[in-house]
A and B are shown apart, each in its own frame.
Chain A
Amino acid sequence: MIPLSGDLPSAKGKRSERVGAFSTVRGTSTLKRGFAHMLKNGVVMDVTTVEQAQIAEEAGAVSVMVLDKLPSDVRKAGGVARTASIRVIQEIMDAVTIPVMAKCRIGHVYEARVLEETNVDMIDESEVLTPVDETHHIWKWDYTTPFVNGARSLAEALRRIEEGAAMIRTKGEPGTGNVAEAVTHIKKVNDELRLIKSVYDSGDHQDLVRIAREFKVSYDLVEQTARIGRLPVVNFAAGGIATPADAAYLMSLGCDGIFVGSGIFKAEDAKERARAIVLATTFWEDADKVKEAQRMIDERQSMLGLDVKNLELRMQERGSTA
């Protein structure tokens, strides 16, 4: 079980209000992390238009992520990638009933503010866009809207959680159609979780302190994570997922759900593929059902994909040292 505690007492994003005879509070950890819990076992799909968002909703996506360009197009276009047009985000929010997320640049406090005021349901502080501050991520406790962040190691994930992220996803290597890096990242996180759990179980607190220093996070967060043996927030897979089998494989590695970026709308069979990836994510334990899902797509219509070894731009490295 994932705990929902972990509030920062001074979190500015928490808002108390009176509504009629009731006193209410918004922006608590329970509400932010709880929102991510409602997405579990689901697929979040990257979209750039209202039509794509509607296809995603009809296919059974649990949420859509609005971008100006799909990650593989960001890669091709080069230049500076920024948050999507607010008008497009609003049109999509008015057209679908599922939650709508949007990306802001790493460290861009005001892109995040603009997205919060736009009323998106979750903000992805994302390495797909061009970072503005590699040493300071956004202090996410200041927002009422929850955030998701990418991570490729346990240390990175815990640093983001300490900054107030309500959800974590692997970074993978976005826009490549190559799931290799996402697999590497989740396996690394899993290995590190096993390690700190064994240290916790051995009762060696000195070593936990050493790990906390190495990770550059507080001891309390390391101890909590080590005790439960998993990330204390929902953890999704992202980066390079292109087929139902990719999604099912990542679910089997212990991911709580799936983000698909370019994999669906860069394919020629987007509609079938969207549904097939949802089916494979829902029924990943049943290999026959995953086969049925995989049969719904045509490999000749998959995005071509990129070999991760020869990339000029490795998005996953953005913001990972801070």
Chain B
Amino acid sequence: MSVNIGVLGMQGDVAENIAATRAALGRAGIKGTVRQVKTPSEISKLDALILPGGESTMMGQMSLVNGAIKTIKDKIQKGMPVFGICAGLILLSKNAKDRIVGKMDQPLLELLDVRVERNAFGRQRDSFEAEITAQPIGIPKSRGVFIRAPSIEGIGKDVQTVSKFNEKVVAVKQGNILGVAFHPELTGDVSWHRYFVSMIKPQNNQKQQNQKPKQNNQKPKQQNSKPKPQNNKK
């Protein structure tokens, strides 16, 4: 199979996410294309979507202007895996408010059952790097790059906490939605993107015993091991 992955290209660190996703596909041994997408017709053809880092107000408004927001919402509701990073996490959330300014009138997808606090760790001078862990999805160690990062609060019952920094939730998963407050695409470590591509269900491979999401606790250590069995058999 070949997967078609898009990175929403209104604004932000699109190129970095394309590069990280391509590397992740390579590591996982999955064939696929990764490209920048802006229009509803480009988005409608995708198997998976990444909402990159940037400014959530701008991305939301531009996606509203060209109708992309509706297509994105439909696709996610139908099960398309989506990975929201920082601004992308904010866009996915049901509710977002700024730490200082409070509630903003900004377009959101309202799919991820959380309340996001924008700029929760402060302004740029307070941006930081720290080593974090995400055991629930099999990432024992990862460099977290937090840039004017949001934090996740008010977590709904279907939302799984994936990672925390100092008692603040910074990564969550809800079915086909993965959201992180930091920037794995800036680190050179593609384990988050690799986990995300493993969330893409093979379309034309019928016998899928291993499809339950819990089965995805693959050990990230096995670098040169065979790619995950369900994904390629050539």
Contacts and interface: CB of A to CB of B under 8 A. Distances in A.
B40 to A, nearest CB: 13
A25 B11 contact: no
Interface in B35-54: 38, 53-54
A41 B124 contact: no
A278 B11 CA distance: 10
Contact of B128 (A31, A63, A96, A99): A31
Interface residues of A, number: 48
Nearest to A94: B100
Contact of B165 (A4, A22, A122, A146): A22
B104 A40 contact: no
Given A34-B147, A98-B57, A22 B125 contact: no
Given A24-B128, A31-B147, A38-B13, A19 B166 contact: yes
A31 B149 CA distance: 11
B55 A95 contact: no
Given A38-B87, A62-B54, A94-B101, A26 B11 contact: no
A35 B131 CA distance: 19
B201 interface: no
A60 B62 contact: yes
Nearest to B124: A121
B58 A62 contact: yes
Contacts of A63: 55
A20 interface: yes
Given A34-B183, A38-B12, A42-B11, A278 B127 contact: no
Contacts of A19: 128, 130, 166
Contacts of A282: 10-11, 38, 62
A184 interface: no
A40 B66 CA distance: 19
Given A41-B11, A60-B58, A25 B167 contact: no
Contacts of A30: 129, 145, 186-187
Contacts of B110: none
